[in-house]
Structure 1
Amino acid sequence: MEKLTDPPGARSGIRFDRVSVAYGGNTVLDSLDLTVEPGEVMALLGPSGSGKTTALRAVAGFVRPAAGRVFIGGRDVTDLPPHRRGIGMVVQQYALFPHMKVKDNVAFGMRARKVPKAEIPGRVTEALEMTGMGAYAERHPRELSGGQQQRVAIARALAVRPDVLLLDEPLSALDAQLRSGMLAELARLHRELPDVSILYVTHDQVEALTLADRIAVMDRARLQDVGTPQDLYRKPRTEFTASFVGNANLLPVQVGSGSAVTFGTAELKVAAPDAAAGASATLCVRPHLVGLGDGPNALTGEVAEVQWRGSTHRLLVDIGGHQVKADLRELRTPPAPGDTVTVHFAPEDAVLIGAGVGAGAGTGARDD
């Protein structure tokens, strides 16, 4: 049996060449330049209305760009209908046919593409086995859990042996435990299908960090940043990236000489300043890297709130008119609101976002 790991058109990638999409004069995707390498998982991460789903739909052929071109495997597909683009697609609400058995749902895409009838049963079986649903071929969608229905939807997308797999918020309808399990399954499928390029749309930072080889951060119809999960998390280049990829403390500082910056009246040290002395910049520190008590870069303030999160306590500390978040291993006796505390962080754990970088992209850290 021919394996799904050897799809026709192997080593296909995706390229957006200054793609713009507008509805009624309202630009919802603005001059997107982005390449998804062959075999890569690229996550499009951003808030609602950022343009990420529109970008995916432009690849699928469901929306027509007002400007720019879309390429799959070096082939211009901008004017091709969806069924001729070599794609598989999974959406958040599964979109299974309730009157069809699982095996017929999986076969549907192949029949629509006029795959030879003799090939269909074997490819249905293979796709269901790959997604762990081989024992459910004779069931109807109503007899399956939400996670099982999503596996069937993925099997249907894989059965057509796509060059490109498009995933549009595929886990958003699942509860937290099922999402975790499905993330592991998607990671396994990626390993088993190394030639299939995957474009994964999500607003969930955990999904993007867990699954993607690279993340494209989008906001207000434009691409804001792109890089590996590690780079975007550890060394964000913009305030919006810092606040949306993970959680961040963002503190306004003035750059001094050497490795010194000033926050209010406190002088702090950072590992590698990237802005000129005298410039205004933003200091980014992840909450889990903030400690309680004396230490390097110590800051004193008043506890505004204490949140117990199971294995950790989150402290929100008012310092110089700014709220600093500290995620600490569960404390036996946590401070109370109104207490005065000192927090600290290591210079190497602070990232300086240079003057003017990320301006207008949003500066508030997400409260999650």
Structure 2
Amino acid sequence: MTSGIRFENVSVAYGRSVVLDSLDLTVEPGEVMALLGPSGSGKTTALRAVAGFVQPVSGRVFIGDRDVTGLPPHRRGIGMVVQQYALFPHMRVEENVAFGLRAQKAPKRGIPARVAEALEMTGMAAYARRYPRELSGGQQQRVAIARALAIRPGVLLLDEPLSALDAQLRSGMLAELARLHRELPDVSILYVTHDQVEALTLADRIAVMDRARLRDCGTPQELYRRPRTEFTASFVGNANLLPVTVGSGSVSFAGADLKVPTAEVPPGASATLCVRPHLIGLGDGPNALRGTIAEIQWRGSTHRLYVDVDGHRLKADVRELRETPALGAEVTVHFAPEDAVLLAAGVSDA
């Protein structure tokens, strides 16, 4: 079953509080779309509007070509996985996975095969007779995913499905979800998360949400390498955001003229320069800036240097330091012109 998702000017409000404001967004058939944003940004509300758990005050929600805005959840043909798994503790794994099929009144003869297929797909076939209390957190999450897949949905909704797992389990489940996506290329997935690593790892596109509105949307590479807004730059990956004045082919910052692409911003305008920490080098080079070491953090494969430059703190992720500079030491940092992105003032919405 192939289905996409389409939001047409969807708003949701609780009393006078607007929690989702005029969302226009399309998830293509077979696409993984991550809704990324801080708490209260509207991302979970958008997912619940697709599921049918909240009713928009305006706009329409489509699954495929069907307007499902007024349909109850059980008639939408979706699979859903939530943060806390929501498994029935008194049911064995196979009974939990079969629950959605029975709720849909699927033919009884076909249910065991569908359950076995879903458990095999999620690597849980050997645990069919166990109860949820006999499983680890990661295994319970696999069962929840198997239950969602058993109904063979055209749309799979994932609401922060890995947030209750520790870092090691989360990494393993990310790999499993990526594998499932490859094996189910026709299923559209809407994935809600506040974790940028999950979004960058899994999504074909990321919709960045903030304060009930869609702020930006694009592929992970587009949003990371060429963000359109300061919010996107700071929320998708880590970023140095430097206030600059635009010249002709350069910008002025901390008394230095920095060569960066300026074609989209007129000379004389104020703007923000975005440079990722891993693209800033230590020592002489193009676009050199002098500063003092304010803090050093060892992060295993890199050192995170915090460098004060004219009252602004720059972050630089530097590999293989032969000699770690002392706090307060004067250093030079630099970055290549092509590694900087100039963000025009006042650009805030997608």
Percent identity for Structure 1 against Structure 2: 81
Q: Of residues 334, 337, 343 in structure 1, which corresponds to 2:324?
A: 334
Displacement after TM superposition at 1:357 (Å): 1.7
Q: Of residues 249, 256, 272 in structure 2, which corresponds to 1:266?
A: 256
Partner of 1:211: 202
Give the Cα–Cα distance (whole angstroms) in 1 for the partners of residues 219 and 146 of structure 2.
Answer: 28
- Check the 8 A contact 2:250/2:262 in 1, yes or no: no
Q: Of residues 276, 284, 291 in structure 2, which corresponds to 1:286?
A: 276
Give the Cα–Cα distance (whole angstroms) in 2 for the partners of residues 105 and 358 of structure 1.
Answer: 44
Give the Cα–Cα distance (whole angstroms) in 2 for the partners of residues 167 and 11 of structure 1.
Answer: 17
Give the Cα–Cα distance (whole angstroms) in 2 for the partners of residues 11 and 144 of structure 1.
Answer: 32
Partner of 1:300: 290
How do 1:1-368 residues align onto structure 2 when only pairs under 5 Å count? 10-257=1-248, 259-358=249-348
Give the Cα–Cα distance (whole angstroms) in 2 for the partners of residues 151 and 108 of structure 1.
Answer: 15
Give the Cα–Cα distance (whole angstroms) in 2 for the partners of residues 356 and 108 of structure 1.
Answer: 50
Is the partner of 1:147 in helix, strand or coil?
helix
Q: Which runs of no fewer than 5 residues in structure 1 stay unpaired? A: 1-9, 362-368
- Check the 8 A contact 1:275/1:355 in 2, yes or no: no
Give the Cα–Cα distance (whole angstroms) in 2 for the partners of residues 150 and 183 of structure 1.
Answer: 12
Displacement after TM superposition at 1:302 (Å): 1.1
Displacement after TM superposition at 1:272 (Å): 4.7
Partner of 1:4: none
Is the partner of 2:278 in helix, strand or coil?
helix
* TM-score, structure 1 normalization: 0.94
One-letter amino acid of the counterpart of residue 195, structure 1: D
One-letter amino acid of the counterpart of residue 293, structure 1: G
Give the Cα–Cα distance (whole angstroms) in 2 for the partners of residues 245 and 24 of structure 1.
Answer: 32
Give the Cα–Cα distance (whole angstroms) in 2 for the partners of residues 185 and 355 of structure 1.
Answer: 41
Displacement after TM superposition at 1:273 (Å): 3.5
Q: Which runs of no fewer than 5 residues in structure 2 stay unpaired? A: none
1:131-158 CA deviation, whole Å, 9 max, x = no partner?
0000000001111110000000000000
- Check the 8 A contact 1:266/1:299 in 2, yes or no: yes
Displacement after TM superposition at 1:11 (Å): 2.4
1:37-79 CA deviation, whole Å, 9 max, x = no partner?
0000000000000000000000000000011110000110000
| Greater Cα shift, 164-173 or 270-279 | 270-279
One-letter amino acid of the counterpart of residue 102, structure 2: R
- Check the 8 A contact 1:77/1:85 in 2, yes or no: yes
Give the Cα–Cα distance (whole angstroms) in 2 for the partners of residues 175 and 280 of structure 1.
Answer: 43
One-letter amino acid of the counterpart of residue 211, structure 2: R
Is the partner of 2:23 in helix, strand or coil?
strand
Give the Cα–Cα distance (whole angstroms) in 2 for the partners of residues 205 and 57 of structure 1.
Answer: 21
Give the Cα–Cα distance (whole angstroms) in 2 for the partners of residues 117 and 272 of structure 1.
Answer: 65
Q: CA RMSD in A?
A: 1.1
Displacement after TM superposition at 1:114 (Å): 0.6
- Check the 8 A contact 2:11/2:56 in 1, yes or no: yes
Is the partner of 1:337 in helix, strand or coil?
coil
* TM-score, structure 2 normalization: 0.98
Displacement after TM superposition at 1:330 (Å): 3.6
Partner of 1:364: none
1:1-20 CA deviation, whole Å, 9 max, x = no partner?
xxxxxxxxx22100000000
Aligned residues: 350
